[in-house]
Chains A and B, each alone.
Chain A
Amino acid sequence: QKEVEQNSGPLSVPEGAIASLNCTYSDRGSQSFFWYRQYSGKSPELIMFIYSNGDKEDGRFTAQLNKASQYVSLLIRDSQPSDSATYLCAVGRAGGYNKLIFGAGTRLAVHP
């Protein structure tokens, strides 16, 4: 079992729709959860992070965390073609140093 799993996609959604990206993780000791966006040929860019169960909203983005189910998701409302990218889920745990485990990413395609 991979430590952090994401569906590779592509996830195709029409412009204006809600895109839902999912991520599961195996380590129950995980404490921090990050979503990064990566455009083709570019480096990962932080979108948002979440530490506590529930929802966290930032503009058009909402992160949802369910530690009991070991599941974290990212919702993108009013999707735009400029949101087309690969979205990376990263999971961190306390102790030692700040090590993040990354999923392989989900490619999102928003079509006009």
Chain B
Amino acid sequence: DAGITQSPRHKVTETGTPVTLRCHQTENHRYMYWYRQDPGHGLRLIHYSYGVKDTDKGEVSDGYSVSRSKTEDFLLTLESATSSQTSVYFCAIRTPGTGAYNEQFFGPGTRLTVL
């Protein structure tokens, strides 16, 4: 198993509160990703990182920010949670290489409920 953990695994919070989700890897890979998964949608990219302090937006980045101060940790922050951010969040890492030689491994997911 690729060494990816997410914390917390489950969280219930109230609208307007800040929330931070953590993704931790032991593989020392450069690329890390945050996705959300919702019924009726495929996995959608929120933000990704291609190195320490190097991050970029995905297709559904509004309302989210990220930080990567160490290779092993990628944090996703909801500054002021809204009910529309209720979702299952997956972190992923990508192995080195180009194109057809990249594999992507997913963390176990975090189920977030915003009341």
Q: Do A and B bind each other?
A: no
> What is the interface of chain A, defined by CB distance below 8 A to chain B?
none
